[in-house]
Structure formats: structure tokens, C-alpha cells
Amino acid sequence: MAGGHDDAARHNDERGTATKVVHLGRDPQRFDGFVNTPVVRGSTVLSASYDDLVHHRGRYSYGRRGNPTTEGLETALKALEGSDGVALTPSGLSACSIALLSVLGAGDHLLMVDTAYRPTRTFCDQVLARMGVKTSYYDPLAGADIADFIRPDTRAIFLEAPGSQSFEMQDVPAIAAVAREREITTLIDNTWATPLFFRPHAFGVDISIQAGTKYIGGHADLNLGTISAVGAAWKKVIATHGTMGITISPDDAALGARGLRTLAVRLERHQRSGIEMAQWLQDRPEVSRVLHPALPSDPGHALWKRDFSGASGLFSLILKEVPERAVAAFFDALTLFGMGYSWGGYESLAIPFDCRDYRTATPWDVEGPAVRLHIGLEDVADLKADLDRAFAALRAAA
Ligand SMILES: *Cc1c(COP(=O)(O)O)cnc(C)c1O
């Protein structure tokens, strides 16, 4: 695992982000000049001598505990996050669950944002509840008022910004400051922004989680989770991750590293196309409003502008009221936008959603059907033409 204190230089790395994602966590000379770290398959690691064995002198000790392929990805992510270490998990959801298990125990209380990724909520309500951890949900707009929800047994606060599907922004530093004062651990699901557009640890958050499945992978061919942490939280994460036996395949680590090399250039394009599509959609007669924090009209825009350095390609829109058959006609007319959930790949996606299905602390009371879009790397003119056709089908069926 990429922990330790050997990297003071990396914390002060002044190079640009695109340069960093290309060069971090690679050492071609170590592998006979090959640009990419090899896929190292291995369970058994041999020691050169009895002395090395009993004094644990090897750089690696046991397949499950890491190899050059996983270590390279961990090292790169650790430097990007600016943390004390990064642990890899087999999916984004397992990154959320392992991180929560690392910092919570029987009798503890968790404050979970009401706009969290739904399966993370299910983990809290079903598994954590069985372990004796109580979860209560809070309004994403709480900010420093989070103090009002903190109980004597509150041990962790979980954030996700912008909110899953509905894109509310959170005042991350305000919540982190309140938590820090009370020695409560903060965790954030930072999948939407990635550490390229938002660096949670710089805003006081202890644990930063990503579904690497999304933008790190970037090609819809990988499930990966990353848990980055600082200080005491890192010690807890790596202990729980290790004792639970969590490990990922070297092939998946290599795919994650390959995705990382182009992350800056892909995100730049997702951002530009996403904002252009969001602006275009705002002016469509079929659309009531667009939920995208980079739009100046968005209620979360000021927080986004203050804390984030970019926006990715995922946002939502609320259609004007139409019958369900018109919504169905809209989706069935799409040819470039695929109907699928796991976003962050090179392709555009569209799904319907309804937050009333799961929210408990805040109302979701919108004027029409809600649609989430992922803007991929296609030409924007073609994406507009695809939505144009879909809107024509919607109007014809309304
Ligand atoms: C997709 C997603 C996850 C889960 O990632 P998987 O690899 O699919 O388990 C977690 N959080 C957010 C915000 C996501 O979008």
C-alpha cells in the first residue's frame, strides 16, 4: 500500500495536473525501459535469504498485500489526492463500505448526506445497522448547521458533492471544520469531480473516496474503488482494508493506471461538452431547468466556483410535465445516448430517475420527469442532433 512518509517531495509537486497524471507512479527504468508498469501476477513472494524473511526486508511480502502494478496506481493517486495513502478496492461501492467500516463500530452514529449514491445508503441501512451503527440522513445544504445534527455518539460524517442525481452542492469546508473541532471523521464520495477538479483533503476532509470505475477507468470496462486518507484515518483504513483481505487484480490496476494517463484531457472535454450541452438544454422549450453546478443559474454555483476547479460531464435536467409515454418516446428515440447507469466512460448516457424512491431527510418535489445525462466524448453537434430527435419524439407522444 502506498503509505509512509517517503514522499514529502510529491506533496510539493508544482507540475501541472496533466503532467502529473502522465508521469506519477511510473518507473520505466525499473522495468527495462517499458513505459507502463507490467501486469504482475502473483500470490507468492520469495525472500532472498532467511535474514530478509524474518526481518521483513522485501519490498513486497504477499500477493494480496500489493505488487508493482497496484503500487504504481496507489502511488500516483496518493500524490494527486495529497494524502498519506490510497487503498484500492474492487468497486466504488466497496470503497464506500470499507471506508465506513474502517471508522465506525457498534454504538456509533453516522451522519449521512441525504443525496448520497443510493447503494451507499443501502449499505448503511442494511449492513451497518446490523453491526449496531445508527445512520441518520441530513440535508445536503446544511453547511455549518451540521452542528445541530451531531449527537454525543456521532463518529463520522459522510458527504457527496454534488449530490448523486440531483447535484446539490455542499459546503465541504464548513462541515469539515465543525467535524474536526469535535474529532469526528469526515468522508466524501468525490467520484464526480475526481481529485483533478476537487481536492477534499485540502478542504479538511479525512477520507476521499472515488469510484475509479467512472472517470479513472474512463472506458466502461473496469470496476475499481479508491480510498485516500490522511492521518489517523489512513491508519484505520489500511488496517481494516488489510485485515478484511481486500485486493484487486493486477489487470484491473493496469486498466486503472492506463485510464489515469488520459484523465486530464478526457475531463477537459467532458467539462467543455457538458457545459455546452447544459446551456443548450436550458433553452429548450421541453426543459424546465438544468441541474448543473457550473451554470451560473444553479443554486450551488457559488460553492462550486469557490471550491472546485472544474466540472465533469454528468448532470441532470427536469422536463416540463409530460405523460410517461412521452418520456418513453424520448428515451427510445435516442441513438447515441445509451440507457445505462455506470457513467464516466467515453460514451454518452441517459437515464430517468426519481429521488422520492429513496430520500428520507429532504423532499424531492419537482415539476416534471427527471433525466440524468452523461456527456461523453462524441462531437457535441451529433449529441444535440440526437436529443433534437428525441425531443421531437417526446412532443409527438405528449
Ligand atoms: C458509480 C458510483 C459508485 C459505485 O461505483 P461501482 O464501481 O459501480 O461500485 C459510488 N459512488 C458514486 C458517486 C458513483 O457514481
In this structure, what are the phi and psi dihedrals at residue 392, rounded to the nearest 5 degrees? -60, -40
Query: Please, what are the domains in the chain?
Result: 68-261 (3.40.640.10), 264-397 (3.90.1150.10)
**Chain-centre distance of CA 226, in angstroms?**
8
Closest to 247 measured CA to CA, from 67, 64, 97, 93: 64
- The whole-number pLDDT of residue 213 equals 98
Per-chain mean pLDDT for the chain? 96
337 C-alpha vs ligand 1 centroid, how far in Å? 20
Structure confidence at residue 364 (pLDDT): 95
Sign of CA dihedral 83, 197, 210, 123: positive
Distance, CA of 393 to CA of 326 (rounded, Å) = 7
Annotated catalytic residue: which of 114, 117, 155, 298?
A: 117
Q: What is the DSSP letter of 163?
A: P
Long-range residue pairs from 244-248, CB within 8 A, at least 24 positions apart, any chain: 244/98, 244/101, 245/64, 246/87, 246/89, 246/90, 246/94, 246/98, 247/63, 247/64, 247/65, 247/70, 248/70, 248/88, 248/89, 248/90, 248/224
* Ligand 1 pocket mutation pick from 170, 342, 372 by most atoms within 8 angstroms of CB: 342
* Cβ neighbour number for residue 55 with a 10 Å cutoff: 10
Closest by CA to 101, choosing from 246, 203, 247, 249, is 246
Q: Which three cell numbers stand for residue 183?
A: 474529532
Query: Exactly one of 84, 171, 189, 252 is catalytic; which is it?
Result: 189
Which tens digits make up the pLDDT trace of 62-77? 999 999 999 999 999 9
CA of 313 to the centre of ligand 1 (A): 15
Atom number, ligand 1, closest to the C-alpha of residue 223:
7
Checking 359-363 for CB contacts under 8 A at 24+ apart, the result is: 359/114, 359/115, 359/137, 360/114, 360/137, 361/114, 361/136, 361/137, 361/138, 361/139, 362/114, 362/115, 362/139, 362/140
Q: How many residues does the chain have?
A: 398
Whether the CB-CB separation of 149 and 112 falls below 8 Å is answered with no
Residue 258 corresponds to which cell in the numbers above? 492506463
Q: What is the model's pLDDT at position 21? A: 97
The atom number, within ligand 1, closest to the CA of 341 reads: 1
Cell of 313: 460531464
Distance CA(223)–CA(7), nearest Å, equals 28
Question: So what's the pLDDT on residue 361?
Answer: 97
Tell me the pLDDT tens digit for each residue of 298-344. 999 999 999 999 999 999 999 999 999 999 999 999 999 999 999 99
Atom nearest to 213 CA in ligand 1? 7
Provide the 3-class DSSP secondary structure of residue 232. helix
Write the residue with the smallest CA distance to atom 8 of ligand 1.
92
Q: How far is the CA of 232 from the centre of ligand 1 (A)?
A: 25
Q: What pLDDT is stored for residue 13 in this prediction?
A: 78
Cα-to-centroid distance, 9 and ligand 1 (Å): 31
For the question of residue 180 being annotated catalytic, the response is no
CA of 343 to the centre of ligand 1 (A): 9
- Respond yes or no: is residue 117 known to be catalytic: yes
Q: Which atom of ligand 1 is nearest to the CA of 93?
A: 9
User: How many Å lie between the centroid of ligand 1 and the Cα of residue 123?
Assistant: 13
Q: Which residues of the chain have pLDDT under 50?
A: 1-10
**Through-space distance between the first and last CA atoms of the chain, rounded to whole angstroms:** 55
| Ligand 1 binding site (Cβ under 6 Å of any ligand atom) | 91-93, 96, 117, 164, 189, 191, 211, 213-214, 223, 225, 342
Close Cβ partners of 230 (under 8 Å, ≥ 6 residues apart): 83, 84, 201, 206
Q: In the β-sheet with 109-113, what is the strand arrangement from edge to edge? A: 85-89, 225-229, 207-211, 185-189, 154-160, 109-113, 134-138
Q: CB atoms < 10 A from the CB of 255, how many? A: 22
pLDDT in tens, 18-47: 999 999 999 999 999 999 999 999 999 999
Q: Which atom of ligand 1 is nearest to the CA of 160?
A: 13
